[in-house]
Each structure stands twice: as structure tokens, then as C-alpha cells.
Chains A and B, each alone.
Chain A
Amino acid sequence: MHIPDGILSAPVLVGGAVAAAAGVGLALRRIDERAIPRVAILAAVFFAGSLIAVPVGPSSVHLVFGGLMGVMLGLGIFPAVLVALVLQAVLFGFGGLTTLGVNTFNIALPGALLGGLLGPMIRRASPPGAAALAAVAGAGSVVGNGVLVALTLRLSSPDYAPVASVVVATYLPLVLVEGAITAFAAGFLARVKPDALSPQLT
């Protein structure tokens, strides 16, 4: 989820930018020239996937794929998310320019952590096992994103504290949908193209 320009305080914006730059910088040092098309194409798939509206009752949610990106890209999720967010800002005018760092960090960090933690287990598991673990990665990355958004708001202004404490609840439909779809997608990949589930950055 994106925080637009005009909401956050300057220290939070700077902190987010520094943290995101560290993640992106670390990833760029690991990405080989030859892996750029792979990272770019995966970033484009996740960008296209985020345009799918999954109906939830009368409303709908848009997917983020933080967990799946973390498993498939490892640390490469940081530049992939950054690039996708810049494209969204340029093409659709949403997201934000000053909040690029904060938003990149909030989405990429949970994905990178869960991908690093569960990725090796997913690659060793049978397809149903991989799907179950991927569900945890998918749902967990959305929860992590929600917690970080709440934290960002709370650090920015005490006025946002009441909203920050309930913002995670608004993520609940997305947690369930993202977990389920990540599970089906990972199960599919485990059967059809298992080596897709490992980050090949070199």
C-alpha cells in the first residue's frame, strides 16, 4: 500500500529514504549484469499482477506479491519494488515522490525477510508443501507491510495514532487473498518450473 506525498513528517521521509537506499544499494551490488532482464521482467509481472482486482464481497483488493517477490528475487525485491513504484507514479500519478523511500522499504523489507527465511524451505518442499509455505510468505508480507505503514504513520504525528492502530485491520481482506493466491501461484511454479522459485541474481 502506498503513502502519498503530503502526509508524513520530514524525519520519517528521510529515514525511509536512507533505509530503502541501503536495501537497494546492497541488492545492486549482488545483481549481475546478466540478471537485469530477469529482475526487470519479474518486476513487470508483479506490476501487471497488481492491476488485477480480486473481488472480496462488494469491494475488491489489488495484489502486491511481496512474499512471492521475496522468494523469487531475494534482496532483488528492493530495486524491483522501487522501479515499479516509480513507474506507477509516472504512469498513473499515484504513490508519491517524496515517499518513494518509505513505500519501497515498507513493501520490500517484509518480502525480503520472509523470502530469505521461507525460500530455502519452499525450494526443498513438495509442491503442496511449497504452496503452504508460500501462503505464509504471502500473508505475512502483507501483515508486515501493514505494521510498517502503521509505524510510519505513528512516528510521523501523534494525531495519526488512532488511525495507525486500526490500519492493520483494513489489510485483513488482502492478507487472506494474497496468502491464497501466492499459495496457488507457488504451487503451480513448483510443479511447472521449480527453479523459478530461487533468486538467480548472478
Chain B
Amino acid sequence: MTPSMMLPQDPRLRLLTAFGAVLLVSQIGGLVTALSALAAAAALTLAQPQRPGWRRLVHLEGFLILLFVSLPFTVPGAPVASLGPLTVSAEGLLLAATLGAKVSASVLVLTLLLGGLEPARLGAALAALRVPETLVRLFVATARYRVLIGDEARRLGEAMHARGFTPRTDRHTLRTYGWLIGMLLVRALERAERVEEAMRCRGYTGRIPRLAAPRPAAREIAAAGLIVASAAALLMVDRL
């Protein structure tokens, strides 16, 4: 069994597997089971031929840092150490470590299963999973325009830098960025009008034909089932 066979290839299965696994892992409460989930996700990541995206684990929102730093102090329990008037509780450390393991495991699962997925294929998978047609088309179109508008934003940014703009904490920076967004919006809206007219010229009726996706192979369904069943088993052990 090659490493890539451990993951389903069908985008529909990937979506369902990722959602199921992450949902189950997110409800784990104990440190040992949370660390097991993290270890399993890390092992699966390491087994893949492509370079693992560990960098994504480093991304932390501000309030998460606040949560991890403060939980050891704010959760009541057996004191382990004291820092002036503050005491670190064993329960708090345990909770912070458990949350950290669950969050990291989820990010790895997400990256593993959805990371390399092309937005157009993902859109087709969403449609096959009965997501409303309008929402699917919105998703596919946004994925496409994101690239176009990103290029436009880069061009405008380069033009600003060529004229000596350096972002600082001042009124000038805020106004420049405000106008940059305004300009992006004006150009983007004009593009939207052109696109809409061009599409109607070609008889666009609100539906784009999509190829029917083949049934996933039994092996893929088994791979998906194995991942979700492992997550379910961990949650069951956790609840015992």
C-alpha cells in the first residue's frame, strides 16, 4: 500500500473525510487521546511524498495565543508552580496542551485532505454533495477572481512602492491603503460588468454544464472510512 493510497483521491470523499475526522477530533476531551490524534495526523502527513506544510501549524490567531498563555493561570486546580501572585494549575496546563494538540491535528488533517485540491474540482465536489448551485458558482467564480484581483493588487502595490511608499503607522498609510482598496473595487466592479455582459452574450442562463464525476473506487471509500473510523475510535476511547 503506497502512502498516497492511504488517502482517498476523490474530492467528494476528501471533503467528507476531512469534515468527519475534524468534527470527531474536535470533541475529544483528554490529553492522551488528543495527542494520539495529533500523532496519527502527523504520521499520515509524514507518509506523503510531497513536502509537509508544517509552516501552517505556526499560524496562530491573537486570541489563541491569549488562550494558551492564560489557561494555565485561570483554570482552578492543583498548583504546580507560582509566578508572583499567579499560580499555574495542573488542570490548566492539561487543558492548554489538549487544545493545542486538537487544533494542530485539525490543521494537519485539513492541509492533508484539502490542501492540494483545485478550487474548480472542489466546486464540482460541492455540487455533487448537494450544496446549492448558486453557492457553488459563487465559490468557483471567487476562486478564479481571487487570482486576477491578487495580480491587480500586486501591480498597484508595486506602483506604490516605485513611488517610494513604505507602510507606517500614520494617516498617510491609512489613506493610501483606503484608496488602494477603493481603486481595486472600482476596477473589479467594472470587470464584473464586462464579465456579466460577455457571459449573457454567449447565452448564459445561470447554469454551467459540469462533467459527471465517476463513482469513487471501493479502495478509496475504504481509505476514507478508515480515517473517519480511527477518529471515531479515538473519541470513543476518550469518552470511556
Contacts and interface: CB of A to CB of B under 8 A. Distances in A.
Contact of B185 (A2, A10, A42, A92): A42
B216 interface: no
A149 B66 CA distance: 13
Given A5-B26, A8-B26, A188-B182, A48 B174 contact: no
B50 interface: no
A180 B195 contact: no
Contacts of B141: 36-37, 40-41
A37 B196 contact: yes
A181 interface: yes
A7 B141 CA distance: 31
B181 A163 contact: no
Contact of A7 (B59, B99, B135): B99
A2 B169 contact: no
Given A92-B56, A98-B22, A184 B192 contact: no
Contacts of A63: 177, 181
Q: Which secondary structure dominates chain B's binding surface?
A: helix
Given A44-B188, A98-B19, A54 B183 contact: no
Interface stretch (A82-90, A107-115, A118-126): A82-90
In this complex, the member of A4, A94, A193, A196 whose beta carbon has the largest number of chain B beta carbons within 10 angstroms is A4
B165 interface: no
Interface residues of B, number: 79
A109 to B, nearest CB: 18
B53 A90 contact: no
A55 B145 contact: no
Nearest to A38: B192
Interface string B127-154: 0000010110111011111101110110
Contacts of A3: 61
Q: Which secondary structure dominates chain A's binding surface?
A: helix
A68 B137 CA distance: 23
B224 to A, nearest CB: 15
Interface size of A as a range: 35 or more
A43 B142 contact: yes
Contacts of B114: 89-90, 93, 97
A44 B177 contact: no
Nearest to B150: A48
B146 A87 contact: yes
Interface string A181-202: 1111111110011001000000
Contact of A159 (B95, B107, B122, B150): B95
Interface string B189-214: 10110011001100011100000000
A28 interface: yes
A49 B195 CA distance: 21
Contact of A184 (B25, B66, B169, B178): B178
Given A90-B119, A98-B26, A45 B137 contact: no
Contacts of A142: none
A68 B177 CA distance: 14
Nearest to B73: A162
A56 B167 CA distance: 10
Given A40-B138, A49-B181, A188-B178, 8 more contacts: A1-B62, A44-B142, A44-B149, A45-B149, A83-B135, A90-B115, A92-B59, A160-B67
Interface of B: 18-19, 22-23, 25-27, 53, 56, 59, 61-64, 66-67, 70-71, 74-75, 95, 99, 102-103, 105-107, 110-111, 114-115, 117, 119, 122, 132, 134-135, 137-139, 141-146, 148-150, 152-153, 167-169, 171, 173-175, 177-186, 188-189, 191-192, 195-196, 199-200, 204-206
